[in-house]
Every structure is written in C-alpha cells, then in structure tokens.
Structure 1
Amino acid sequence: MNITISGSDTAIYYEITGKGYPLVLLHGQYMNTTMFDSFERDFRDDFQLIKIDLRGHGYSDKPLHINMEDYITDVMAVMNELYIRQANFIGYGLGGMVAQAIAIRYPELIQRLILISVGNEPFNDSQERFRMEFANLLRTMKPDDRTKLLSRYMYHDLKKVNRWMKGLKDTEESMTNLERKAVDHSTDGVDLLSQSDLISAPTMIVSGAHDHLIQPDHGKTLSEKITNSSYMLFENSGHAPMIEERDRFVNDVKMFLSPSMDI
C-alpha cells in the first residue's frame, strides 16, 4: 500500500501502474482510485498512471474539515514523493475541480489537462439545483426511489454505469456523518471559473449531453474561458461519458495526449 503524508499529517493513499510519461488520475466526489481501474489496460503501456485517493475518500484519512487547498496539497505531496515535476492530468467531477485549481495555481506542473463533467460552480450548488428541479416528485418518494429517479436524469446508459459502479470498492459505508459533511462542503465558495483564463495547458473538456447534474452548457462556458481548450459533447452520455461512451473517450484521450499534438 502506497501512503504519503500530506498537510496536517494526513495520510494519502495512491497507486502506480504502467510506464512512461506520468498521467495523474483524480476521482469524483465520494469515489476513489478504483473508478479508473478499467482504464489501466488502455493507458498503462504509454503512461505511468498515478491514481490518488483525495482526503476524505478511499483509503486516505478522513478529517472533519476539508477545503480545496487541502486537496491541492494532497496531489502535490504525491507528486513530490514520486519526484514528478510535470504530468498530464485527468480529473472527473471533484477531481476535475482539483486539477483545474492546480492548473491555475501551478501551471508549470501540467502538460495537458482533461476535465470530465466539471461545472462552473461548487458541487453543492449543482447538486442542490439538480434536486430542486425534481423537488415536486422527490418529496413524496422513498429514498431508494429518489436515487433511482435522479440516476435517470444523471446518466443516459444506466446499464453501463451500474456495471461500472458495481466494480468500485465501497469505502463510504463506514464514514461518519461528520466525515461526510467535510466532503460535502469541501468546495463551498470555490470560484474557479473567474480564474480559468490563467490556465495555459492545452485542455480538453468533456460533457455528457444528458447530464442534468453538471449541465453541458457549464462545460461549454468553461471551455470559452480557457484560451487553449477544446470542448467535446458526448451525445449519448450523461454524467459519466468516460463509461457511457468508453471507446470514444479512450480514443479521444489518446489522440489529445499524443506527442504528435505537440508539434
């Protein structure tokens, strides 16, 4: 088990596979390194994959107070541990926000940046707007039925998403309410959109057309803010385009990260 110590003596878990130029993979909220396991065979021959459990997630420590600065410190601690001075980054949801924040603060650390299902507001705001959209239906439903309804409006290909989620390790079940609260509010008040014009790395932004949680126009707005960026709308996807349209995603990422793109 690979552990490094981040700020406030927080233990951060990470995994390394593959060989080649480093590719840092940052998971979504309430997920962990296992969300990227199915992609190892696609990228490990060309890249050294560094998968990190951000604090509050996976096998990393779960403090009772977390902010964006903490997440950035976690990633920096792993990079320093591995003597990585620059890398490609793929971030999904919360992980995309963290990668985006690093690209703003430390542009020299990022060669290329891929942001998946990343909006232009704190996640809690997106989640609250999403739930309010269906409030009249949700208030009369049981919790399990609410989850099923919301999933229908988050994802387009639920069969693929459900198969993927069954393969994820469950590291949330033992979390306390206070630990969950720390994660829930870790991005409160974070405004990355207004600073995104400072991102200099070539950036690919991926949105799913059927995502009601992080709506596609948020990704489009973000792309317009980053000078050297491309926006990709996956027409047959919701909140998990890398799973719902896996083949296209793998091909697009390989093309974007290809050395030939640097010419």
Structure 2
Amino acid sequence: MTTFQSNDVSLVYEEFGEGEPLVLLHGLTGNRHMFDQDVQVLKKYFRTIVLDARGHGDSDKPSSYTLNDHVGDVLNLLDHLEIEETYLIGVSMGSYIAQGVAIASPERVKKLVLVATKSEGKTSSMEALFEKYADELKGLTFSQKVLKVSPYMFHDLTAVGQWSKEAAEKGTPLTVEQITAANKALEGFDFTQDLYRVTAKTLVISGDHDELNPTELGRETARLIPITTFVEFKQSGHAPNVEQHLLFLDFVLEFLDVK
C-alpha cells in the first residue's frame, strides 16, 4: 500500500494493472478491500486504483470531516498521481463522493458508474430504515439494529456476509466514535440541483431488494444526470457488485468499452 497527503491527512491507496486509470470508491465504514474481487478482473484492462477514504481502512481518521473533504481527497489523489481524466466507480457512500467529483471537476471524469446510490442525504438512509422497522428494533444497540435490518438491505446475505468479513479482516476496525464521524460526514448532502453539471456518460445500478437506497432513488439520480443508463438488478440489494458479481462486471466492462 502507498500513502499520500491530502490537506494534512494521510490516505492509503493501492494500484494494480496498466492502462487508462479507473478509481474505485468504497461504501460507508468499508475499505479498499471491498473491491478485491473486482480488482482481479479490472486490473487486466485498467490502471485500477483503490482508496481508503479518510476515516476508513488504513487511512487517517480525523475526529470530524465532511463529504466535501472526501471529494477533495479524490481530486487530490488524481493530482498526486498526475491523472488528468479517469473512469470512476463508486458504491453507496463512494457513489456520493463520485457524484461530488463529477460535479466539481466534470472534465476529470471520463465515465461514471454509481452503484446503490441516491442524490441527496437530507435524511440518513440507515436512520430512515431504523424508523421504518422501529417496533422490531426496540432496545437494540446500533450494531444489533444493523444486523436485524440486514435482510431488508440485502438479497444474498451469505455472499454479503462473507465479503464483509473478508474485507474487515484485511482493514483496520473502526471504533464507535469513528463510525459516528463517518456517518456525520454524510449528513445533509444534496446534489439534486447540480447533477446537470455532470458531463460523463453515467451508468447507475440499483438492486430491487435494497430498502436502504431503494431503486426509485437510483432512478431519480439517473434522471438528473444528462447522459445516463439506469439498470435494476433483480436479485440484489444494497450490494449489486457482490450479490450479482458476474452480472455487475459484465455491465461495467461493456459500459467501459472493454473488448
């Protein structure tokens, strides 16, 4: 792994393969190892770059930060690597960061893939899910609540559980305080008035079993971006890239014009 400085925060990234650059952005409380399986394929065609977001994985964990900080970190990484234009894939939180990058510097994103996404976070997806199933969650801790609502978030719990376990074992575990800071960074974002600025051809993928970021939120995001294809995976929840991994790779490789 390699580190670079982004506004006095040390961030960890790794590179695999050669060719045009492709940056992968992971979800909330995750790390770069969430993409280990994807990297094995993508590195055959692209200079594939995975980043531990600030507050996550092996990167520094400030006590507070914002979504704008995440966006700035990706742009600083591109500067650090002297990349003028990149393909960009973001999953869940990573998709919010990717939207921010494509809005702030549209000329730097060649194509954009948004997975399990939404275009605004005026209310927390997880808190909304907790509220929906409040009667089932009374008296539980945060971790217990997350476990309890997992069947409403994912379709293939076995695949997601194994994937999450493997990624967690390779990364640095987060404390309760670090998880709280990571969640707070996403409070109140709203890209709905700015997505028209995105010039990159975009692929939006949602899972029809995802109650965290339901498909209608993915459709709305797609509607707001000028050049977009929306795809709904029928056997996936909040992790289409894991729950239907081969289908996900097929769509992504075709979208990125891999021959």
Q: In the alignment, residue 128 of structure 2 is paired with which amino acid?
A: R
Alignment of 1:88-107 (within 5 A): 88-107=87-106
Instruction: Name 1:6's counterpart in structure 2.
Output: 6
Contact (CA 8 Å) 1:30, 1:172: kept in 2 or not?
Answer: no
Alignment of 1:79-94 (within 5 A): 79-94=78-93
Instruction: Name 1:148's counterpart in structure 2.
Output: 147
Instruction: Name 2:173's counterpart in structure 1.
Output: 173
Q: In the alignment, residue 226 of structure 1 is paired with which amino acid?
A: I
Change (3 A) 1:230 1:13: same
Change (3 A) 1:146 1:187: closer
Aligned residues: 258
Deviation at 1:43, TM superposition (A): 1.0
Instruction: Name 1:216's counterpart in structure 2.
Output: 215
User: RMSD between aligned alpha carbons?
Assistant: 1.7
TM-score (norm 1): 0.93
Change (3 A) 1:141 1:72: closer
Equivalent residue of 1:204, what SS? Answer: strand
Change (3 A) 1:169 1:229: same
Deviation at 1:188, TM superposition (A): 1.7
Equivalent residue of 2:135, what SS? Answer: helix
Q: Tell me, in whole angstroms, the C-alpha distance in 2 between the residues paired with 1:120 and 1:242.
A: 19
Equivalent residue of 2:70, what SS? Answer: helix
TM-score (norm 2): 0.94
Instruction: Name 2:23's counterpart in structure 1.
Output: 24
1:119 aligns with 2:118: yes
Q: In the alignment, residue 94 of structure 1 is paired with which amino acid?
A: M
Q: Tell me, in whole angstroms, the C-alpha distance in 2 between the residues paired with 1:61 and 1:140.
A: 33
Instruction: Name 1:72's counterpart in structure 2.
Output: 71
Contact (CA 8 Å) 1:88, 1:112: kept in 2 or not?
Answer: yes
**Structure 2 stretches of 5 or more lacking a match?**
none
Deviation at 1:193, TM superposition (A): 1.8
Contact (CA 8 Å) 2:123, 2:188: kept in 1 or not?
Answer: no
Deviation at 1:121, TM superposition (A): 2.3
Q: In the alignment, residue 175 of structure 2 is paired with which amino acid?
A: M
Change (3 A) 1:222 1:144: closer
Equivalent residue of 2:84, what SS? Answer: coil
Contact (CA 8 Å) 1:87, 1:109: kept in 2 or not?
Answer: yes
Deviation at 1:148, TM superposition (A): 3.2
Q: Tell me, in whole angstroms, the C-alpha distance in 1 between the residues paired with 2:35 and 2:44.
A: 15
**Structure 1 stretches of 5 or more lacking a match?**
none
